[in-house]
Amino acid sequence: MNFQSAGAASPKVHVAGLSKSFLRDKTELRVLDDIHLDVRAGEFVCLLGPSGCGKSTLLNIVGGFDTADAGRVEIEGRPVTGPDPRRVFVFQEYGIFPWASVWDNVALGLHDKPRDEQHRIIRHYIELVGLKGFERSFPSELSGGMRQRVALARALAVSPDVVYMDEPLGALDSLTRLQMRAELLRLWRREKMTILFVTHDVDESIQLADRILVMTPRPGRIAEVLKVDLPHPREISSPEYNRIKNRLYELLGVSHAI
Amino acid sequence: MSLAPIAATAGAVLLIVVARKLRDPLPKFLLPLATAILFLCFWQFAAEQAQYEVKQPDGTKRLVEIFPTPWSTLVGMQKPIMDGTLLRYAIASIYRVAIGFSLAVLIGIPVGLLAGWYLRGFQAINPLIQAMRPISPIAWIPVAVLWFGVKDSSAIFLITLSSFFPIVTGTMTAVQTIPLVYVRSAKNYGLGGFGLFRYVVFPACLPQIITSLRIALGIAWLVIVAAEMIAVDSGLGYLIMDARNANYYDRVVGAMITIGLIGIGLDFVMRRLELLDDVRWGFPKVNS
């Protein structure tokens, strides 16, 4: 039931039967239980769930930072053994280095490239995320939204296969968050990336994702997969949008009418 | 004469009150200046209490100082200042601290980085370091003299030894408290080995390293005087011992003041480091 139809091509990211437990106060706490998921190339997939449902743990395992107790994680059919520059993470905050300028932050994944190429790539991506003129600025001099743009530029600069995003807009104020969603979609379409995006924000997932995987809290399971078949820009007052929204709230066990 | 301190105290207080009325906030130098004046006043006052008169054979009276007043300190320092002894001794002390401290930096930072990064390394050397750290550098003086003789190298060894521990401990702690997300980012982007240290571990720790260097330099300056009292024949510590043996207490106090002023200077230089672009992020913004 949890397998998505893979279509003709094999999936980019393939997770099967993944489970994970933590030991807490000598009792075993199951955080992830028999997770199956596929992400196809070029797809934008959201993992939606309440806080503490294990979605970040799942992302960390898929990204190679953590290991599972059982199950498989494969990228294009090859098992994941650790972090890899072809698949980069964008964290909620503090992912960029406060000691380095915008330029040096974006240069992080490019140190073994020839200097000319390095400079060309850095310049290109800084401009792409709209930070031209801020090359010499330090993160402490930038707003939250601009910092997250730096993180995006740094990620895109290594031309990654897959980008994992762990609530990347969670620390921003609500207006900046809306702007950054639009920005993210623009970059996603332009760079033809595959994105696996963790969020607990229902609207965020409907606005961004091709598919939404809804997770249940502890032990984390994938309760349902919703396809969002709406063209961008998505009209938040459309009946289809609201149908999905109601369904998501229902799955998460809360009512959005307050 | 003993009205002077009271007058000066009143003056200092008045100065603050007036400045308080005149403008807000206070000029930055005012409070430190007032404190300094107050201190000089109390010093003058206390020294005067210890003065006594003696009748000389010819019937005249002479004032004998047990402890020098600020003024007699200045007079007593005239000779060492004018003939260059003070400058030469100050340079000798600074030179020893510079060499000894540099050695401690060159050994302490790499050792701290490695021991902070590799758990096994930490487990291996940390107990030894923590056991040696509380041993006063003064206790090492006889050992230093035995190993290096009454020479510069003795004092330099003591400086290196005493500044090594705060540097290595500070650096280790800095590495151990690097936020996980930085290390993950670095590994994610393919950094490992030297690159990881060069671009992430070292810069992430640099603010804390600079703080530990500041502490270490303070200790080094503290220790140099003690080391020079026994192990060499130049420097500010030597000046104090030498003046004491000749009963020139004005010079003892003068040398103490010189040591304090140079100490402020060294700390000032270290604080400037905190303003560098690469480390500014790690220090809270203080508007002083």
Residue B136 has which token pair?
């006063």
Give the pLDDT score at B22.
67
Residue A3 has pLDDT above 80, yes or no: no
**Residue A194 forms beta bridges with which residues?**
A162
User: In this structure, are residues B141 and B222 in contact, taking their beta carbons and an 8 Å threshold?
Assistant: no
In the sheet with A78-79, reading across from the earlier edge strand, the strands are A27-39, A13-24, A70-75, A78-79
- Nearest-Cα residue of chain B relative to residue A92: B181
Does the CB of A95 have a partner CB in chain B at under 8 Å?
yes
Q: pLDDT means per 10 residues in chain B (288 residues)?
A: 66 72 71 85 87 83 85 91 93 95 96 93 92 91 89 91 95 93 90 87 93 94 87 88 90 94 94 86 66
Residues of B in contact with A111 (CB under 8 A): 191, 195, 199
Q: State how far the Cα of B236 lies from the Cα of B216, in Å rounded to an integer.
A: 19
Does the CB of B232 have a partner CB in chain A at under 8 Å?
no
Under an 8 A CB cutoff, do A85 and B182 touch? no
Give A195's contacts (C-beta < 8 A, 6+ positions apart): A43, A44, A45, A162, A163, A164, A165, A188
Total count of residues recorded for chain A: 258
Residues of B in contact with A84 (CB under 8 A): 188, 190
Residues of B in contact with A99 (CB under 8 A): 203-204, 206, 278-279, 281-282
Q: Which of A58-67, A72-81, B55-64 has the lowest mean pLDDT?
A: B55-64
Residue A129 has pLDDT above 50, yes or no: yes
- Nearest-Cα residue of chain A relative to residue B204: A99
Residue A229 has which token pair?
């078949």
Give the pLDDT score at A5.
46
Under an 8 A CB cutoff, do A138 and B281 touch? yes
**Residue A70 forms beta bridges with which residues?**
A19
Helices (H), B193-248: 193-196, 202-231, 236-245
Under an 8 A CB cutoff, do A83 and B204 touch? no
Give the pLDDT score at A107.
92
Q: State how far the Cα of A188 lies from the Cα of A198, in Å rounded to an integer.
A: 16
Give the pLDDT score at A257.
63
User: In this structure, are residues A168 and A201 in contact, taking their beta carbons and an 8 Å threshold?
Assistant: no
Under an 8 A CB cutoff, do A63 and B188 touch? yes
Å between B108 CA and nearest CA of chain A? 22
Q: State how far the Cα of A245 lies from the Cα of B80, in Å rounded to an integer.
A: 86
Under an 8 A CB cutoff, do B182 and A94 touch? yes
Residue A248 has pLDDT above 50, yes or no: yes
Residues of B in contact with A98 (CB under 8 A): 281-282
Å between B210 CA and nearest CA of chain A? 14
Under an 8 A CB cutoff, do A85 and B186 touch? no
Give the pLDDT score at B78.
92
Q: Could you tell me the pTM of the whole model?
A: 0.81
Evaluate the CA torsion angle B68, B70, B75, B80 in order and state its sign: positive
Name the residue among B245, B185, B171, B106 with its Cα closest to residue A105.
B185
Q: Which of A104-108, A169-173, A184-188, B18-22 has the lowest mean pLDDT?
A: B18-22
Report CA-CA distances (Å) from A131 to A139, A180, B133. Answer: 12, 13, 49
Q: How far is CA A245 from the centre of its chain?
A: 20
Name the residue among B157, B160, B75 with its Cα closest to residue B111.
B160
Asked casually if ipTM beats, i.e. exceeds, 0.85, the reply is no
Does the CB of B187 have a partner CB in chain A at under 8 Å?
yes
- Nearest-Cα residue of chain A relative to residue B190: A85
Percent of chain A with pLDDT over 90: 27
Report the relative pairing of strands A70-75 and A78-79 from DSSP bridges: antiparallel
Mean pLDDT of the A194-214 span: 92
